[in-house]
Amino acid sequence: MLGDRSISLSKDGAMDVTVSSHAKKRIKKRLGLKSGYEEAAAEALACGVGQADARGRLRNYLTAIALKERYKARVVAWKGLAWVFCGTVLVTVLIMPDRMIRSLKARLRRAL
């Protein structure tokens, strides 16, 4: 959708995304999902707005989150949440502030 993504696909066409136990707790708490964690993470990774695709305040916000992590993190904004990946492992999911959500919605509208 936005930008060129390099994501590995399994034989059945699904993305190979692993979700940590901490991320499962955060998804359950913040999205209310009881299953389908890998599918939600794969959707965020494939359809979300990454640092390279973002502009302005949204880009600065995503970069700040990535720099706070102890490891090389890839932060993707999707559905009002910041999804933090280390490679193809989802580490955590953070709630984005309202002004960042507005920036995200504007960016997605421009992409259509």
Q: Model confidence over 16-69: pLDDT tens digits?
A: 899 999 999 999 999 999 999 999 999 999 999 999 989 899 999 999 999 987
Q: How confident is the model at residue 106 (pLDDT cuts 50, 70, 90)?
A: confident
At 44, is the secondary structure helix, strand, or coil? helix
Average pLDDT, whole number, for the chain? 85
Identify residue 88 by its one-letter amino acid code.
Answer: T
Structural domain spans, the chain? 18-111
> Which one is predicted more confidently, 53 or 7?
53
pLDDT at site 4? 34
Both tokens of 7, joined, read 């994501």
DSSP code per residue over 78-110:
ETTEEEEEETTEEEEEEEPPHHHHHHHHHHHHH
- Residue 19 belongs to what H/E stretch? strand 18-19
Contact 75, 62 (CB under 8 A): yes
